[in-house]
């Protein structure tokens, strides 16, 4: 039997024939440049789910009745599927015994993400039920989204015409038609929104203490505490995002979907050189879908891995390569409207600057404009690698009012597609409240066909600025 030699930091690992077919080229390159004792983040993709027909009933323990109801109303996949069946427990246990740590177990991808050394990876490759071993993507965020100094607040006051109820958050809402939707009695009630972010400190802020939070989970640290506590990661960004979509402090800040219910998922480790791993995002998508989320809003977009990992490039923004994009697509097929930031990569003449999962065909990717409707210079552009127009639509992402997450009663102005995203997701919640039967494709069509640039979409602005009332009435 022929052998395959793998050199890892001077150590030669000799494996059985077929080793090269199990270990992906990306993982092999990573191992060749690593020290033998280095721990790697690895996806272990399994070959089967055993007797899937006999095990389908197990999926009912993991998928809520609300999720099944949503699938039946809005999904292209309308019931329990093979993808809902958890991986074979014996397979997972065999993997667990051979690695340093199991991070997440994915039913959707029939995979386990692990921390393992080169020797442990070689042992995994010998398991007969392992189909493939690949790198877990460690992503670097785009440009930082600065918190704007209060000195600049006057420029917002001039264009936003603050009202007694919205305060200076009026402009960001009015631009996309939220006050008219509120006047029609829509508040997001009955809609479940999952927010994926860095964590959520200061949930006791006066603009957030009304929120209905159904569940929370920290996918970085593996516990139910999504604030800062003693865990890794800072939750300031997530708290600001949450306030933009769901805040309610009359006279100061009103979010579009202030009466919705929320699932909070901490998926990003801000303290690491590589702030988030794609398995956190994928695990959160499975978790949120199974708990009945109608919407995922994710102000996280990723492209380049931090050195020396290598990673995705703009050529991989094709709607089918990045694992986060594939997870977002699966959620959308199950009737979840996935709304994500297009990214803060700015303009490049010959390429897109999107970050996964904004390249997904069924994903709503959101770009940023200022209060006057002009595209923000930092807002990422399309087209996708396979030629589709992105972003989809735009909302305000410059001088957006949100909470100051270092306090319990103050506010700040913030920039980034991170904040255009929850504004748009809030409109989606109001549309679903009015039309709970609308599918993901129907929501997307309503937003695109009524946006400001609908007749001539471009790679800079997509279909243009959201028009909530027109989307509501669209046919």
In a domain, 77, yes or no: no
In a domain, 169, yes or no: yes
Instruction: Provide the residue range defining the domain that includes 46.
Output: 4-67+84-136
- List C-alpha distances in Å: 338 to 16, 28, 162, 293: 42, 33, 30, 10
Phi then psi dihedrals of residue 336, to 5 deg: -90, 130
Instruction: Decide if 249 contacts 200 (C-beta within 8 A).
Output: no
Instruction: Decide if 299 contacts 424 (C-beta within 8 A).
Output: no
Same domain, yes or no: 237 and 89: no
Cα–Cα distance, 205 to 236 (Å, whole number) = 12
In a domain, 142, yes or no: no
Same domain, yes or no: 344 and 321: yes
Token pair of 236 as six digits: 């300031």
The 10 Å Cβ neighbour count of residue 183 is 9
Q: What is the pLDDT of residue 236?
A: 83
Same domain, yes or no: 101 and 49: yes
Residue 74, C-beta contacts closer than 8 angstroms, at least 6 positions apart = 335, 437, 438, 439, 440
C-alpha closest to that of 70 among 288, 249, 246 = 288
In a domain, 368, yes or no: yes
Residue 158, C-beta contacts closer than 8 angstroms, at least 6 positions apart = none
In a domain, 191, yes or no: yes
DSSP symbol at 51: S
Rounded to the nearest 5 degrees, what angle is found at the Cα of 287, between the Cα atoms of 285 and 292? 95
- Give, for all 475 residues of the chain, the pLDDT tens digit: 344 455 454 444 544 555 568 998 888 888 887 777 888 889 999 999 999 888 988 888 889 999 999 999 999 887 899 999 999 999 999 999 999 999 999 999 999 999 999 999 999 999 999 999 998 876 555 554 554 444 333 333 434 444 449 999 999 999 999 999 999 999 999 999 999 998 888 788 999 999 999 999 999 888 888 876 555 556 688 999 999 999 999 999 999 999 999 999 998 876 543 446 789 999 999 999 999 999 999 987 655 555 555 567 888 899 998 899 999 999 999 999 999 999 898 999 989 999 899 999 999 999 999 999 999 999 999 999 999 999 999 999 999 999 999 899 999 999 999 999 999 999 999 999 999 999 999 999 999 999 999 999 999 999 999 999 999 999 8
CATH number of domain containing 109? 3.30.70.80
Side-by-side strand order, sheet with 130-135: 101-106, 111-116, 40-46, 130-135
The strand pairing partners of 43, in sequence order, are: 113, 134
Q: Tell if the pTM clears 0.85, that is, is over it.
A: yes
Domain count, the chain: 2
């Amino acid at each position: 039997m022929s052998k395959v030699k793998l050199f890892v930091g001077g150590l030669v690992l000799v494996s059985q024939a077929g080793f090269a077919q199990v270990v992906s080229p990306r993982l092999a390159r990573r191992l060749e440049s690593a020290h033998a004792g280095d721990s790697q983040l690895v996806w272990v993709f399994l070959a089967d789910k055993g007797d899937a027909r006999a095990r389908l009933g197990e999926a009912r323990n993991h998928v809520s009745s609300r999720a099944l109801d949503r699938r039946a109303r809005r999904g292209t996949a309308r019931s329990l599927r093979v993808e809902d069946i958890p991986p074979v427990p014996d397979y997972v246990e065999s993997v667990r015994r051979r690695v340093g740590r199991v991070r997440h177990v994915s039913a959707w991808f029939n995979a386990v993400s692990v921390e393992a050394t080169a020797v442990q990876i070689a042992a995994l490759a010998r398991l007969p039920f392992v189909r493939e071993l690949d790198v877990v993507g460690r992503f670097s965020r785009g440009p930082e989204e600065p918190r704007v100094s209060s000195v600049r607040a006057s420029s917002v006051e001039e264009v936003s015409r603050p009202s007694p109820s919205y305060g200076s958050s009026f402009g960001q809402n009015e631009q996309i038609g939220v006050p008219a939707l509120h006047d029609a009695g829509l508040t997001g009630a009955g809609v479940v929104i999952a927010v994926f972010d860095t964590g959520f400190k200061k949930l006791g802020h006066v603009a957030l203490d009304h929120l209905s939070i159904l569940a929370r989970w920290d996918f970085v640290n593996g516990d139910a505490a999504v604030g800062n506590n003693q865990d890794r990661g800072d939750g300031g960004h997530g708290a600001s995002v949450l306030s933009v979509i769901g805040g309610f402090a009359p006279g100061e800040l009103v979010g579009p979907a202030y009466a919705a219910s929320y699932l909070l998922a901490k998926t990003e480790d801000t303290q690491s050189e590589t702030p988030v791993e794609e398995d956190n995002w994928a695990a959160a998508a499975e978790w949120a879908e199974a708990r009945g989320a109608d919407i995922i809003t994710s102000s996280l977009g990723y492209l380049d891995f931090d050195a020396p990992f290598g990673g995705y490039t703009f050529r991989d923004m094709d709607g089918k390569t990045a694992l986060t994009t594939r997870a977002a697509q699966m959620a959308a097929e199950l009737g979840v409207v996935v709304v994500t930031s297009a990214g803060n990569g700015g303009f490049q003449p010959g390429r897109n600057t999107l970050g996964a999962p904004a390249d997904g065909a069924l994903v709503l990717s959101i770009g940023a404009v200022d209060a006057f409707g002009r595209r923000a210079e930092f807002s990422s552009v399309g087209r996708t690698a396979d030629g589709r127009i992105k972003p989809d639509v735009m909302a305000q992402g410059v001088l957006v009012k949100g909470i100051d997450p270092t306090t319990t009663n103050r506010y700040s102005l913030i920039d980034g597609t991170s904040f255009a995203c929850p504004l748009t997701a809030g409109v989606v919640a109001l549309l679903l409240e009015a039309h709970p039967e609308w599918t993901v494709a129907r929501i997307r069509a309503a937003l695109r066909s009524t946006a400001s640039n609908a007749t001539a979409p471009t790679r800079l602005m997509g279909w243009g600025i959201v028009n909530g009332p027109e989307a509501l009435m669209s046919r």
